[in-house]
Amino acid sequence: MEATPNYLFAPFAAERMLQVVPDACCIAILRNPIERAYSHYKYEYRRGGERYSFEDALAAEAERTDSDWARAELDSEFWSFALQHQSYMRRGLYAAHLAKWEAILPRNRLLVVEDQDIFQMPRSTLEKIQVFIGVTQQKNLCLSHKNKGVCQTKKPQFPRTLTQYFTDDGQALKARYGARFSWLLSELA
């Protein structure tokens, strides 16, 4: 097994993965895209890679990443600092990214799971994943949270423009997978 958030996002990841492992089964674990964007920002800010405020970083994202994204969609060898470290919103366009995977990978080899299912229903979600990948079910699996940031006591107020940014993609995700993602029932309803 192999995991990284870049696989869903990188334009040529699916093609490359299938060249190396033609029979691979893939699992996309989706997080509320607004919370994902903020978490990514906090990570970059803490490590010194981001100097802007969250709102300013969001406002600057298109200028920082659009030309690199256009190039990355055409050139399978291209990747950039901006795409890796400053693509807070674009990474959360899950329906758009999943569509690229679905165009290449048979639907029965792609499982889409919400991260909250893993945290709130770990046993049943892990059983579902084990069945999907065709392994003998292990009853004593343990999940540990990786890359967990410092918890805040109060959820920040996210800019309305951030919610608006994800609305169309959220509706496409809802149309394709149903309203089973908790954020589609709340912020992006």
Read out DSSP for 50-110?
--S-HHHHHHHHHHHHHHHHHHHHH-TT---HHHHHS-TTGGG-HHHHHHHHHHHS-GGGE
Q: Answer yes or no: are the C-beta atoms of 127 and 115 closer than 8 Å.
A: no
**Comparing C-alpha atoms, which of 40, 87, 94 is closest to residue 61?**
87
pLDDT band at 153 (very low <50, low <70, confident <90, very high): very low
Placement of tokens 């990284």 in the chain = 4
Identity of the residue numbered 67: S
Q: What percent of the chain has pLDDT over 90?
A: 61
Q: Where are the domains positioned within the chain?
A: 6-115+151-185
CATH number attached to the domain at 6-115+151-185: 3.40.50.300
pLDDT band at 106 (very low <50, low <70, confident <90, very high): confident
pTM, two decimals, is: 0.87
Residues 70-79: pLDDT tens digits? 999 999 999 9
Placement of tokens 């995991």 in the chain = 3
